[in-house]
Structure 1
């Protein structure tokens, strides 16, 4: 695809049809066409492995597949075989399937720091269930969330803290406190400011940076001392950091944790896991004198084909060393991108960050400030070169040829980036409006 003639007429038409019937034009805001350069938001026809094709017939090397959920690549044979087998046996019954037992046993063997697990369909339900359990267990109402992490749930308790808080009562957000990642002193100050009020601390155990030495253990100690529940949101770190999640890698056990994304390789399945005494509050075998917690009760939460997909994913990760492969691919990509950016004189402006299995990139202007304009320029050149990359999060389906091709396209993009920096104006290279932040108050 030539950088000057990339045209997506069928995708543009499909985007108009999407917006006419679906609010936002997508079922996840992060997939919206406002996240891509104007008229360059491809609508996908199909995918295989690490590649996708748009409705215009263009093929792309894809990163961040399924918002990090498709970590084995599209239509992975082992996963598809397991799903097909269950589809022919029925997917949902009036009583639990034996697959629910097998899936729970497999999950708890993979994440041995948890004692019980309950499956659902999306991460928001799992995190909100964890918060509800924490409130019930502690008798407290205030939730403390990590202010440095971008997303926890679509539910009011989190979305009310974002710029998109329309429709959420202030009485809900008044019960939310926050703490910065990596700062134990600030977290203790927050806990002291609300004595005996904080039900839980919820955070991603790691993101674009590794936790400072002793940080997670320090949070564990603070939660115990102040009587609150420690919740790890492992939607991203689960499997990508290790098969047992960040808690398995760093050796710090939360009270509750939530998993999703990579768990189903694109099939809808999430999990709430944790201590038996907490989880049983949503069960039938607890003390008869204690109020019951309405935990997760989802009609489709235990669809057999999704649980089969999750079991196949876990087996594949363990038997094929997928986590190590993700890190190796990410290290090769990060090194190549950094070398290409440096060679083109933009090494301080196109910056690769994060763990090798979960790479993102920053686009900085001439003053080294984050820039949506320069991100737009960069994305345009990647798309024109056949690379669909809202991030550089790898899947195990990538190969060395894909990585080398990506680095070549990045080098071409960086050459244009240098021209824009020299002109101190990226706008001539945008061909339309800049990409926009997901969380913003006005459309």
Structure 2
């Protein structure tokens, strides 16, 4: 199988857009060479590319779509909003309704402010914590991603052009290390996800983090970008019963329509408002933060979560998928090399070579064989729109991919089976090993 039209458009993207995509995780270097579909539309859990091929999609807009593509309630709300105008010089009644919806849905928060992407809100949380505490150091959990802004990207390998800043990293599920860090440094805030795809909090861990922040005077910030509306509509903080001082939201709160939010304690949030005698914090001030499409989409998402149970639907689909894929890999003799892990609503798969070591080459081979069989995704993250038919199609694709994977394990190499070069980490120092080839 080839994707001639997708390949042509991807080449044009590389000439027009640095990296060939507007999000590094969507880049062609994250997919097998020649098999990076350029999409045209989606419905439910299916997407179609410019070569008129259909795929069951996983990852669902980098985990931003929980209700499925083209959800009727969201489409209707956005259609009504766009017809009435999208951006004005004063707040709209929709802002009042959306804020009330948010604070009803997330009762652990007292105030909320909307923006357009997650980085806006996590950076605003850091700025607010620094202003409130008078400190500059921040502590950031060793979890995958928090912001495109300097305070976080400066801690990654892809830190060209970023000045050094006082950011301390700490491991998840290790309260003792965090305690030492907070004792040794004047930390303004602790930024973390309450849980992740591969990490659930050990008993008492989040409670210990909460107590340590209180003892040392640090602001606790939960990143709910992924966990919000996927673990629960009220976020991981409601699942685990630990309330942060501030929390940052996005992704699924608009079912893929751009909207994010910073929420938290009233006394902190008001430092960015008019009900304070302290120096004001430039909290969030964005032209498009309150535009009506995102707010209308959010309100439609809230209504759906109130009348249906998308989280339960994702948990059911994910559990069925994980069990069936695990069985298929075991039957093919690769069960020790391809594993499905994580919360059922947020599944990932890991790939290992013949020696059992994590392998990008074998991961790429697995991705390649899934794409060839009509399954697209860097993970097995589901939505509530994934049907039994979608799962069955995926399991059939995994069976075919597993046979090719087993042949590579027996040979000890992907040579002769993998088309082109392996994928590479999205955030890395150099373009190599997937630098564009001469054209």
Q: Same fold (TM over 0.5)?
A: yes
1:72 is aligned to 67
Q: Does residue 60 in structure 1 map to residue 49 in structure 2?
A: no
What secondary structure is seen at the aligned counterpart in 2 of 1:273? strand
Question: Shift of the alpha carbon at 1:47?
Answer: 0.8
1:299 is aligned to 287
In structure 2, distance between residues paired with 1:191 and 1:367 = 40
In structure 1, distance between residues paired with 2:68 and 2:104 = 24
Q: Does residue 247 in structure 1 map to residue 237 in structure 2?
A: yes
In structure 2, distance between residues paired with 1:75 and 1:110 = 23
Matches within 5 A, 1:311-322: 311-322=299-310
**Displaced runs of 4 or more, over 4 A:** none
Question: Shift of the alpha carbon at 1:193?
Answer: 2.1
Question: Shift of the alpha carbon at 1:243?
Answer: 1.1
Alpha carbon RMSD of aligned pairs, Å? 0.7
Question: Shift of the alpha carbon at 1:398?
Answer: 1.1
2:157 is aligned to 163
2:199 is aligned to 209
Matches within 5 A, 1:418-429: 418-429=406-417
Q: What is the aligned counterpart of 1:178 among 165, 169, 194?
A: 169
What secondary structure is seen at the aligned counterpart in 1 of 2:229? helix
Unpaired runs of 5+ residues, structure 2, are 432-439
Unpaired runs of 5+ residues, structure 1, are 1-5
In structure 2, distance between residues paired with 1:427 and 1:227 = 55
Question: Shift of the alpha carbon at 1:220?
Answer: 0.1
Q: Does residue 283 in structure 1 map to residue 277 in structure 2?
A: no
Deviations 1:263-305 (A, max 9, x none): 0011100000000000000111112xx1110010000001111
Deviations 1:138-194 (A, max 9, x none): 1000010001x1110000000001110000012x2xx10011000001111111221
2:88 is aligned to 93
In structure 1, distance between residues paired with 2:366 and 2:39 = 21
1:3 is aligned to none
* TM-score of the two chains, using structure 2 as the length reference: 0.97
Question: Shift of the alpha carbon at 1:70?
Answer: 1.1
2:435 is aligned to none
Question: Shift of the alpha carbon at 1:394?
Answer: 0.2
Question: Shift of the alpha carbon at 1:427?
Answer: 2.4
In structure 2, distance between residues paired with 1:372 and 1:28 = 20
Residues paired across the two proteins, number: 430
* TM-score of the two chains, using structure 1 as the length reference: 0.96
Q: Does residue 334 in structure 1 map to residue 322 in structure 2?
A: yes
What secondary structure is seen at the aligned counterpart in 1 of 2:42? strand
Matches within 5 A, 1:17-416: 17-147=12-142, 149-170=143-164, 172=165, 175-194=166-185, 197-207=186-196, 208-287=198-277, 290-416=278-404
On the 8 A contact 1:61/1:388 being kept in 2, the answer is yes
